[in-house]
Amino acid sequence: MRRRYPSDLTTAQWREVERCLPLDHTVGRHRTTDLREVVNAVNYRWCTGCTWRMLPHDFPPWGTVYAYQRRWLRDGTLAEIREVLLRRAPRERAEAVPA
């Protein structure tokens, strides 16, 4: 277990993003990397603008995150993830403001 970063996805955000992600293969080697942590790392980069090698060490290795990000960029998954996160952000800010 690690400390949360402000850029980490909420449970509600993760549920929406998870629907965008490709399923694990039914044959061959199965995924061992936690995709929520990969998405958290990509979102951390979007929020901070850090270089790949400067990702904090409690995320998956930067090379793994980079490989997923490149794959998702090519197949359109990354655009879907970004759309979900940007669409969700204004609603969460509105909910956080006291009435």
Q: How many domains does the chain have?
A: 1
pLDDT in tens, 70-98: 999 999 999 999 999 998 655 554 454 45
pLDDT at 69: 97
Residue 23 lies in a domain: no
Residue 1 lies in a domain: no
Boundaries of domain holding 63: 33-88
pLDDT in tens, 24-77: 777 778 888 999 999 999 999 999 999 999 999 999 999 999 999 999 999 999
pLDDT at 29: 81
How far, in Å, CA of 15 to CA of 9, rounded? Answer: 9
Residue 40 lies in a domain: yes
Angle at 45 between CA 40 and CA 48, to 5 degrees: 115
How far, in Å, CA of 82 to CA of 86, rounded? Answer: 6
